[in-house]
């Protein structure tokens, strides 16, 4: 997805990470004492725990009264605080809040302050994708773990077709589609994304959707090359057709009508999942109101107040012109109810924002997405699991990530309040650990 022009309003935010040098992981063990550990698998909390990290992994967890702290350890008192696994934003196009469009690596790095230690990007220019992939090779501690698709696929004159070669491929024949999939495989993408939708909802005029034979060729070639295929298919009819064609996951929840038993059956057959992207829908419904809400949720003011105000005053009219009436309240009610039904039916759900669209600000939207999911009817424990363990399962990394468990990688977030009792506490980040390296979350004090 291309970088929106409103980013020029965000030029005052800078990366502020403290602690260990990212190129020199701590030799000393890192120990968190007297902290409450949130078990995202069970939805329970264990109080007064000590967690020992040695190198990049967790080596010991247990009651503080029973755990011997190594003499050479860096010890942090976690009394009154809560420990959760690092969060994932599974639909983030990596838009840089500093406005530096030429530095996608910095865009990624800044998300650490918000507790986001894993990012999946369902469309980037191949130039940006290659730069970020190279920077994250070996999973350095100063960057979130990164996965993505590179270019997505769309139809001629379909959604996003104007951004050919800057985020999308537009195959016109089966052979071209297959060749483009193979090229993406050579570029080491982690999955393939198709845009299979005509956007004909909420009164919007329809655009061409991808031809079925092109879709089938993409899915078949991707599977031949060991890649899964995810779809932007926000309409129920297209989501079903995508799954029937062998698709693997939905990058948006269904927005135009209630999900039915047939969709649920197809998703279970395909062992499919759905990304939430409620932030996207809320912004499309009322961009000014959503930006106001993000500003209120940004407790540490990592994005200065002046940036939020500038966006509302100077850019919101442009955004409203583009998206006015794009998503009435009725559609919001549908997608919230659909999300709840998917969860209640046992369909895996992962959290994602579609950061990059106007009004969806990097980092703060990733946190606020969890609140929106709870407002849609998910329990806090379900939302935390969606943003941690389930997200890592979708990525195939759950053996190493997604839970606070001995032997797993130490991607951790310390919160100043219990997210299980109030999901709003997800905003109260005290510090972040990525791969065993400690960062203080920091704050921004500009007006």
- pLDDT of residue 23 exceeding 70: no
Q: Average pLDDT in the 89-97 region?
A: 80
Least confident span in 50-54, 100-104, 219-223, 358-362: 100-104
CA distances from 21 to 26, 87, 169, 350 (A): 8, 22, 39, 31
Contact (CB, 8 A) for 143 and 135? yes
What does the mean pLDDT of the chain come to?
Answer: 88
Please give the pLDDT value at position 447.
28
Place of tokens 């190493």: 400
CA distances from 118 to 2, 4, 71 (A): 21, 23, 32
User: Which tokens sit at 413?
Assistant: 């977030």
Q: Average pLDDT in the 120-147 region?
A: 94
Q: Average pLDDT in the 295-307 region?
A: 90
Place of tokens 């894993």: 118
- pLDDT of residue 12 exceeding 70: no
* pLDDT band (50, 70, 90) for residue 11: very low
pLDDT over 70 percentage in the chain: 86
**The model's pTM:** 0.90
CA distances from 28 to 70, 410, 432, 436 (A): 9, 14, 17, 10
pLDDT tens string 158-210: 888 877 667 899 999 999 999 999 999 999 999 999 999 998 886 678 899 99
pLDDT tens string 208-234: 999 999 999 999 999 999 999 999 999
Please give the pLDDT value at position 30.
97
Please give the pLDDT value at position 106.
87
pLDDT tens string 311-358: 776 555 555 555 444 688 999 999 999 999 999 999 999 999 999 888
Cβ-Cβ contacts under 8 Å for 283 (sequence gap 6 or more):
290, 291, 323, 357, 358, 359, 360
pLDDT tens string 259-295: 999 999 999 999 999 999 999 999 988 888 899 999 9
H-only helix segments in 298-355: 305-310, 316-323, 329-344
Cα distance between residue 355 and residue 366, in whole Å: 8
pLDDT over 90 percentage in the chain: 75
* pLDDT band (50, 70, 90) for residue 6: very low
Please give the pLDDT value at position 94.
78
Please give the pLDDT value at position 441.
57
3-state DSSP of 149-162? CCCEECCCCCCCHH
Three-class DSSP category at 97 = coil
According to DSSP, the β-strands at 412-415 and 437-440 are: unpaired
Residue predicted with more confidence, 318 or 68: 68
Please give the pLDDT value at position 57.
97
Gap between the terminal Cα atoms of the chain: 31
Please give the pLDDT value at position 446.
31
Domains, the chain, with CATH or none: 87-398 (3.20.20.140)
Please give the pLDDT value at position 337.
98
Please give the pLDDT value at position 284.
87
């Amino acid at each position: 997805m291309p970088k929106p022009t409103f980013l020029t309003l965000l030029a005052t935010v800078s990366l502020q990470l403290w602690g260990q040098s990212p190129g020199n992981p701590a030799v000393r063990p890192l120990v968190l004492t007297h902290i409450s550990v949130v078990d995202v698998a069970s939805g329970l909390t264990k109080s007064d725990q000590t967690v020992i990290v040695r190198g990049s992994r967790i080596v010991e967890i247990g009651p503080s009264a029973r755990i011997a702290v190594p003499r050479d350890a860096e010890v942090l008192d976690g009394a009154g605080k809560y420990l959760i696994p690092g969060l994932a934003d599974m639909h983030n196009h990596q838009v840089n809040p500093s406005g530096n469009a030429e530095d996608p690596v910095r865009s990624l790095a800044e998300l650490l302050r918000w507790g986001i230690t894993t990012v999946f990007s369902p469309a980037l220019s191949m130039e940006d994708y290659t730069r970020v992939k190279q920077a994250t090779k070996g999973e350095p501690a100063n960057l979130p773990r990164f996965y993505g698709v590179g270019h997505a696929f769309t139809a001629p004159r379909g959604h996003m077709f104007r951004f050919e070669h800057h985020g999308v491929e537009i195959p016109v024949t089966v052979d071209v589609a297959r060749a483009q999939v193979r090229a993406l495989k050579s570029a080491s993408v982690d999955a393939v994304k198709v845009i299979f939708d005509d956007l004909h909802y909420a009164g919007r005029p329809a655009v061409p959707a991808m031809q079925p034979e092109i879709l089938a060729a993409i899915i078949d070639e991707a599977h031949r090359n060991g890649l899964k295929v995810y779809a932007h298919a926000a309409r129920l009819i297209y989501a079903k057709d995508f799954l029937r064609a062998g698709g693997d996951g939905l990058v948006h929840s269904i927005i135009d009508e209630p999900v039915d038993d047939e969709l649920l059956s197809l998703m279970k057959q395909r062992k499919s999942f759905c990304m939430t992207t409620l932030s996207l829908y809320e912004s499309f419904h009322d961009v000014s109101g959503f930006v106001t809400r993000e500003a209120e949720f940004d407790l540490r003011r990592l994005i200065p107040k002046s940036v939020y105000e500038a966006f509302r005053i100077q850019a919101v009219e442009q955004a409203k012109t583009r998206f006015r009436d794009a998503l009435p309240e009725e559609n919001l009610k549908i997608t919230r109810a659909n999300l709840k039904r998917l969860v209640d039916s046992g369909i895996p759900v992962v959290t994602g924002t579609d950061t990059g669209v106007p009004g969806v600000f990097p980092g703060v939207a990733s946190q606020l997405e969890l609140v929106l999911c709870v407002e849609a009817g998910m329990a806090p424990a379900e939302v935390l699991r969606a943003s941690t363990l389930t997200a890592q399962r979708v990525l195939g990394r759950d053996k190493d990530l997604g839970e606070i468990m001995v032997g797993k990688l130490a991607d951790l977030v310390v919160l100043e309040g219990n997210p299980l009792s109030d999901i709003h506490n997800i905003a109260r980040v005290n510090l972040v650990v990525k791969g065993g390296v400690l960062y203080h979350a920091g704050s921004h004090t500009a007006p």
